[in-house]
């Protein structure tokens, strides 16, 4: 997550402005939740690590679940926004595929903590948490499906199915690459999976007019 990128500016009294304090609390909470899981994490420890009293934490977040959901929403928003930027970065569809695969592996490699918060939550039985996790896949796939639909003429449902499959290939593959401590470098893994994805989606020509691929 990029919560740490928020400037931490102190007032003359040594207190943080509200936005900066919120960013600090989110950053500290991310560490605690990833280390201990939702159930074992406590607001007391988050407050202690942030160097504030527990009432200060409650001024920003009414409860532990509210804090967790704020973290989750921020991380999910980041993933979806990055997918959209990757798609908009080029008009070359092969490069788009490579860019989206690169995004997933970069996200895992550089922001493993946030990635685990989203995809390895121990609170997925909570409907609000499950909705945020599902939203990453759904909104990422919708963005990719729009490009597929515009380029191929496939119906929305067909384009969306292909897009969901690409998203799964990206984040599931990246998770496995990280968990198994693969001997493949990140660059090699992205190149390999990107080639596989392109050989699949690249087989749908721009003049396809139905879900069966008939012209």
Q: Is residue 103 part of a domain?
A: yes
Residue 14 CA to residue 208 CA, distance in Å, equals 63
* CA–CA dist 90, 93 (Å, integer): 8
Q: Please check whether residue 162 lies inside any domain of the structure.
A: yes
Q: What is the mean pLDDT of residues 118-142?
A: 87
pLDDT reported for residue 157: 95
Name the DSSP class of 126: S
pLDDT in tens, 75-87: 889 889 999 999 9
Say how many domains are in the chain: 1
How would DSSP label each residue in 13-61? TSPPPHHHHHHHHHHHHHHHHHHHHHHH--HHHHHHHHTS-HHHHHHH-
Choose among 31, 34, 36, 29: nearest CA to 66. 29
Is 44 inside a domain boundary? no
State the pLDDT at residue 16.
Answer: 76
Identify which of 191, 100, 91, 206 has the alpha carbon closest to the alpha carbon of residue 159. 206
pLDDT digits (tens, 9 = 90+) for 187-202: 999 999 999 999 888 8
Give the Cα separation of 56 and 105 in Å (integer).
Answer: 36
Confidence band, pLDDT 50/70/90 cuts, at residue 111:
low
User: Is the pLDDT higher at 165 or at 112?
Assistant: 165
Average pLDDT over the chain reads 84
- Find the domain containing 134 and state its range: 71-203
Whole-number pLDDT of residue 112 = 63
CATH of the domain at 186: 1.10.357.10
Q: At what angle do helices 93-110 and 127-152 cross, to 10 degrees?
A: 160
Query: What percentage of residues in the chain have a pLDDT greater than 90?
Result: 49
Indicate the pLDDT class of residue 208, thresholds 50, 70 and 90.
Answer: very low
User: Is residue 2 pLDDT above 60, yes or no?
Assistant: no
Q: Is residue 4 part of a domain?
A: no
Per-residue tokens: 149? 């639909």
Give a yes or no: residue 59 inside a domain.
Answer: no
């Amino acid at each position: 997550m990029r919560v740490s990128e928020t400037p931490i500016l102190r007032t003359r009294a040594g207190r943080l402005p509200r936005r900066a304090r919120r960013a600090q609390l989110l950053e500290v909470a991310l560490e605690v939740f990833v280390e201990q899981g939702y159930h074992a994490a406590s607001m007391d420890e988050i407050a202690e690590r942030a160097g504030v009293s527990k009432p200060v934490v409650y001024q920003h977040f009414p409860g532990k679940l509210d804090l967790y959901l704020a973290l989750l929403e921020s991380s999910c928003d980041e993933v979806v926004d990055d997918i959209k930027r990757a798609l908009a970065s080029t008009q070359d569809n092969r490069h788009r595929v490579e860019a989206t695969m690169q995004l997933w592996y970069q996200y895992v490699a550089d922001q493993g903590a946030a990635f685990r918060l989203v995809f390895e939550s121990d609170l997925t039985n909570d409907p609000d948490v499950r909705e945020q996790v599902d939203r990453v896949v759904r909104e990422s796939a919708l963005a990719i499906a729009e490009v597929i639909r515009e380029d191929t003429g496939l119906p929305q449902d067909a384009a969306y199915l292909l897009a969901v499959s690409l998203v799964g290939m990206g984040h599931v593959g990246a998770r496995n690459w990280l968990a198994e401590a693969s001997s493949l470098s990140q660059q090699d893994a992205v190149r390999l999976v990107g080639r596989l994805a392109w050989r699949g989606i690249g087989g749908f020509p721009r003049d396809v007019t139905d879900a069966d691929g008939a012209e």
